[in-house]
Amino acid sequence: MSNRIEIFLTLSAELTAFSRFDLLGTGLAEAYLGTLDRVVGDDITDTLLAAFVALPPPEDSTRSQALRATILGNELLGDVARSLTKLWYSGTWFELSYAWTQRFGPKPADATFVVSPDAYVEGLLWKAIGAHPAGAKAPGYGSWAYPPKIPAFPGSSTAKSEAISVHLQNAGIMS
């Protein structure tokens, strides 16, 4: 399959709601595609990418339903896509379900593991909630006294985070 990394990035962006730009910014796209190849094998990875390419175009209203039917709800691909989503969010590959292994055979590299120390640090989860990974990317002294800056994204209900009022007088940081 040509241009695998591009398809992989587009698939990942759709699963995570983070932009291709954000995903490349982690510096881990190749490592994660490589993880997928190593754990479930190139053939299953290619099947996943092919199923994604075959979806109706983004502007088509049936695309989301098709993604659920042919990827997330597919017996072979569903658990793999979910593990990929969790990988992007946390930097950890989570072992596939017992049922998947029973049905499709055990994969020797399929265990729960952190892909690399920087994979933990680059987990998207922290960015999603306007926080930082525990033990890294510290926001600075006293930053915790202020409301979180939760990034907006297409489809987010940004009203919530914007509605937060600031109570500097209670923070003690202004004294």
Which residues in this chain contact another protein in the complex, by CB under 8 A?
14-18, 67-68, 72, 81-82, 85-86, 89-90, 92, 94, 112-114, 116-118, 120-121, 125-126, 128-132, 134-136, 138-148, 150, 153-157, 160-161, 163-164, 167, 170-173
CB of 136 to another protein, least distance (A): 7
Evaluated on CA atoms 154, 6, 41, 133, the torsion sign reads: negative
Q: Which is nearer to another protein, 42 or 116 (CB)?
A: 116
The CA angle 81-102-50, to the nearest 5 degrees, is: 30
What is the closest distance, in whole angstroms, from the C-beta atom of residue 38 to another protein in the complex? 16
Output 34 or 42, the one with its CB closest to another protein.
34
- Beta-carbon contacts of 144 under 8 Å, excluding residues fewer than 6 positions away, are none
Closest CA to 168 of 143, 145, 144: 145
Task: Indicate the residue among 42 and 147 with the shorter CB distance to another protein.
Answer: 147
**C-beta separation of 107 from 97 below 8 A:** no
